[in-house]
Chain A
Amino acid sequence: MIEQRHLKGREPITGESISVIKIRDVLLVAMPPDPDDTTITILQEKVLAAIERYQVKGLVLDISAVQTLDSFFARVVAETAQMVVLMGAQTVIAGMQPSVAITATQLGLTLGGALTALNVDLALEIVSDAFQRRQRS
């Protein structure tokens, strides 16, 4: 017996599952475990708007819950990091699971040279270090 699955008339997930929190001078964004393409695209716009509104110096993208990082998701993350740098802030991607890191590497993903950290705590440190360095130079 073949089970057929198709969600008909389902409510689309439109960015509601993403939390964007401002902590001091940093925007902390927690990605849901399995975001769809629409959610990821909305996230990019939401994050850039929030960076302008709150005038933060950094963005920490917490992906510790993320189970699947495919090429589309990685491209949007890399692009967002680049856009944030253009706006004058810093992006740190935090908390990638080991299984996701292995898969991403085999798939050939690079995240476009964005900064990464083991967890959110270390990511916050990187943002503040990077900002201090930039102020001095």
Chain B
Amino acid sequence: MPMWVQILYRSIALFIVVVAVAQILGKRNLTRIPPYRFISYQVIALIAALISLNVIKEVAFGLIALGVWVLFPIALDYLSLKSKRFHDLINGKERVLIKHGKIMEEGLMQTRLTGEELLRELRSKNAFNLADVEFAVMETTGEINAFLKSGKKPVTAHDLGVKTAPQAEPQTVILDGNVLNEPLASLGLNKEWLRIQLENMGVSLDNVFLGQVDSSGDLYLDLFDDAIELPQPKVKEMIYANLEKAQASLETFALETNDKNAKAMYKKNAQKLKLLMDKLNPYLLR
């Protein structure tokens, strides 16, 4: 066999092997892997390259080495899943770098991190001011995470005491003009429902690039033809506005009528609607 054919065969075979190996090794984020895994990836790549270029003449030898470097990381992963002590031994422990707003110099020493590097990492977490950081830790992957002082954290709805409606993830039901049945069924809807919705909006299915249904069942569409202006769902706002109007009318009736009973009835119902509006506000307007 001429050399070039040999190399061609080996390369094709190894490419398939390496793709399979990458699948086996898992889909973890490559920037956040423990060092031993990083090394094993490198060695695997190197061995594969050497076999493929015929530097390692005996394929079997190369495959043995490759097998060890593939199987050992997997074995280590399983062992560290089973035993916490083993996990700490292999991955190391996270190190506290800032505690109660004070930098732990010995933590910096142990991780061999300079002050500038720490500040850079904190800045990338949007903590430009060291005084804002309550606690920071270096994870076993080398990433630094910071916990801001309570007054410096972004405001949440909970902090403001605002009630918000629970929202589930939207489901994509139309992609590239095709109806996706599975997400549609998971919402308890069917093609007929979709057909009616599209008809109401006056759009044909093959003009829709993307359609999403949010957790309240409203359909949002993006069309191929961007010149068409679509009425985006404003139904909930309409309900709220109508309620508001009805409530105001009831108040007016209560003022206008001379009948005592009717006055009381209007007042009571106006009050009821007012309470209802307060209750529905987070669900309809946000």
A and B: real partners? Answer: no
